[in-house]
Amino acid sequence: MDYRENVKRLVLGLLGALLGLIGLGLLGGGGVLLSLFGTDGEADIPIGQVSGDAVRAVVVTDFQISSSTALPVDETWFDLRLEVTGEQPLFMGVADKPDSLQYLQGVPYELVTGIDSSSDSMDSTTIPGDRVPPDPGAETIWTDQQTGRQASVAWPVSNSDKTLVVMNRDASKGVAADISVIATVTWVGPLAVGMLIAGVVLVGLAILLLVLAFRAGGTAPPSSQPPMASAYTR
């Protein structure tokens, strides 16, 4: 093998290895994003359960999103929605803290001031009262509201002056609901698919280049010596 063949084999091998590493990185990154957000760009993060047997509402204030699931994007890129599910038809609404506390004045409710889903714990205080609140759906204080056994509302990112109020739809006592955060980044799904496709293409090219590098060194150069004349004797 002459010098040029050695250089060719080395260049093909290095290029193939480099493309292979880049391709594997794209496959890994795309797979992580796809497992977290799916093709629709939504990540569903369970937060915890809020409940109160003798109260007519659960109020979550100073809400902090805490999850053991690491998200590889900045939280300001999210469109956030809070989702509640329960066995009874529920009302959920988002309002400014002063407005929601004014609406619930004299009403027994559970005040939740911190939720930590990674340790499955929360800080809550029962606020006593004996007043029955008016129909929450008829109030005008909510920036977003919804009813049902599964309901969701928009939650503003990094706004500590907002509160989430969860009640039974008929404002009866005994509230129980599971809260999840739905973080949507619309462009993550297409990005993840694109990374997977690019990763497959680069890995394929890397394999091709490595095969070419192997073959470049596998062919023996032709001999430059003339064939030896066979001996002839009488």
Tell me the H-state helices in 44-89: none
Alpha helix ranges (H) inside the chain: 3-37, 97-103, 188-216
pTM: 0.64
185 falls in which pLDDT band (50, 70, 90)? confident
| Interval 55-80: pLDDT, tens | 999 998 765 554 445 555 455 666 77
pLDDT tier at 102 (50, 70, 90 boundaries)?
very high
Highest mean predicted confidence (pLDDT) among 70-74, 88-92, 219-223: 88-92
Pair 41, 188: CB distance under 8 Å: yes
* Mean pLDDT on 49-56: 85
For range 101-127, the mean pLDDT: 79
Where does residue 17 fall: left (phi above 0), alpha (psi -120 to 50 degrees), or beta otherwise? alpha
Domain ranges of the chain: 3-26+188-216, 42-184
